[in-house]
Structure 1
Amino acid sequence: MASLNDRKVAILTEEGFEQVELTSPKQALEAAGAKVDVISPKMGKIKAWNETEWGIEINVDKQLSEANPNDYDALILPGGVMNPDKLRQNKEAVAFAFSFLKDGKPVAAICHGPQLLIETGLISGRTMTSYPSLQTDLRNAGVRWIDQEVVVDNGLVTSRTPADLEAFNQKMIEEIREGAHHHA
């Protein structure tokens, strides 16, 4: 596994994130040596959704209002239905994600996570995947949507469901190791 010892990664999330879609990438990143901060509009702890019921609570490392995208090398967006829907309505969260895309930094979004990226206005022309129910929203935002376990488009990594986490984590780490991608 590639060393990410010099990399700092932000996981942007809200209450109701899909538990394994945060815990699995976070563990993979930390195992590769990255410093990972869980960032949320909320302070303290936030609660996961675990398939069909509430799951664990995790600590928020930094409140969104105090987080600076320039302090991070990459952005991870876990899914879950509630989490991305809350984030996409939060102007600070949209601006945070916008900054990563604008600067060509790696962004990895799984399941419903790409919903937030629609709001940035920066994904038209990209190739992505997501949870199948988002394909119309993504296509309407100008995305070429394909049904694949993991899709990489110039530093933007997307996957469909928790079943894709192994491939998602591997590609996410590769893209973060490569660093910023500047597309034409």
Structure 2
Amino acid sequence: MQTGNPATRYRRAHRKGYTAMNTQLKDRMIGILVADGVDAGKFSTLVHELRNAGANLAIIGPAEGEARSWNPSGWGEPIALDEKLAEVEADRLDGLVVPGGQIAADTLRADHAAVDLVRRTIEAGKPLVVIGHGAWLLVETDLVGGMNVTGSPTIKTDLRAAGADWSDDAVVVDLGVVTVQSSEHLEAAMPKILEEFAEGRHDRPGITDVVAEASDASFPASDPPAWKPGTAAPGA
């Protein structure tokens, strides 16, 4: 498990020639969260690269059967779904990807189960990859305060209003949360994405610690932690 302090969080755009030290994802189960309107190009790239690295994939969506992809000319090929969102067992996932696509992201941010899956991924310290408009879901988790992120420039106001530190970088990494600004940056971001999945869980001060305390105190699952990142820690 990787540890860190908020002061050591870093922002790094992918540099040409960067090579991940470990992209071996054998036996890792990675969820890919989609809905109608998911970006076809992003989805295809992610599936190809993750499978090539040895990952097992679970394609997850709010409906049963399939989701319709979207490309620049309109509706694209259907995507077969492995699991219905409402039935996903989050604990068995080693990480999660939200490929984005404005239509899909707008649908998913209004879906309680989708937001909850993203929230639980962050709380558990598991790697999370969010692309383009997919960053809308970060806003809905109420855990983005103080987090370094990028994302589609059209939603930067939403992210900043939620307390995130949005920057105009191609790729931003904050303790295992990888945000990619757009599909044109995805290929360059893949080595870093694979590295984060290979590293596994991260300690996220102010998130994982508080969630663990809440669990020890046996709070109901519906009760959120009293403290959110970006504010002073209890007793600080």
Scaled by the length of structure 2, what TM-score is found?
0.76
1:93 corresponds, among 114, 121, 124, to 114
RMSD between superposed Cα atoms in Å: 1.0
Runs (5+) with no aligned partner, structure 1 = none
Shift of 1:26: 1.4
C-alpha distance in structure 2 between counterparts of 1:182 and 1:52, whole Å: 42
Contact 2:145–2:164 (8 Å) recurs in 1: yes
Give the secondary-structure state (helix, strand or coil) at the position aligned to 2:31: strand
CA contact (8 A) 1:128 1:146 kept: yes
> What secondary structure is seen at the aligned counterpart in 2 of 1:55?
strand
TM norm structure 1: 0.97
After TM superposition, which residue ranges in structure 1, 4 or more long, deviate above 6 angstroms?
Answer: none
Which whole-Å CA distance do the structure 2 matches of 1:136 and 1:52 have between them?
28
> In the alignment, what sits opposite 1:147?
168
Counterpart for residue 62 of structure 1:
83
3-state SS, counterpart of residue 37 of structure 1? strand
Q: Indicate the percent of aligned positions where both proteins have the same amino acid.
A: 38
Alignment of 1:98-137 (within 5 A): 98-137=119-158
| Structure 1 Cα separation of the partners of residues 95 and 191 of structure 2 | 14
1:157 aligns with 2:204: no
SS in 1 for 2:78: strand
* Contact 1:154/1:182, CA 8 A, preserved across alignment: yes
Query: Hey, which of these two has a bigger chunk of strand by percent?
Result: 1
**DSSP 3-state at the match of 1:112:** helix
Report the Cα distance in structure 1 between the residues aligned to 2:79 and 2:175, rounded to whole angstroms: 31
1:168 positional shift: 2.4
Shift of 1:23: 1.2
Q: CA offset at residue 13 of structure 1?
A: 1.0
Structure 1 CA distance for aligned equivalents of residues 25 and 121 of structure 2: 18
* Contact 1:118/1:141 (8 A) holds in 2: yes
Q: Could you tell me which of 75, 79, 99 is aligned with 1:78?
A: 99
Tell me if 1:166 matches 2:174: no
Of residues 27, 36, 51, the one that matches 1:15 is: 36
CA distance in 1, matches of 2:89, 2:135: 20
Counterpart code for 1:19: A
Using the alignment, how far apart are the partners of 1:50 and 1:136 within structure 2? 25
Alpha-carbon distance in structure 2 between the residues aligned to 1:26 and 1:114:
19
- Alignment size in residue pairs: 184
1:2 equivalent in alignment to 2:23: yes
Give 1:79 deviation, angstroms: 1.1
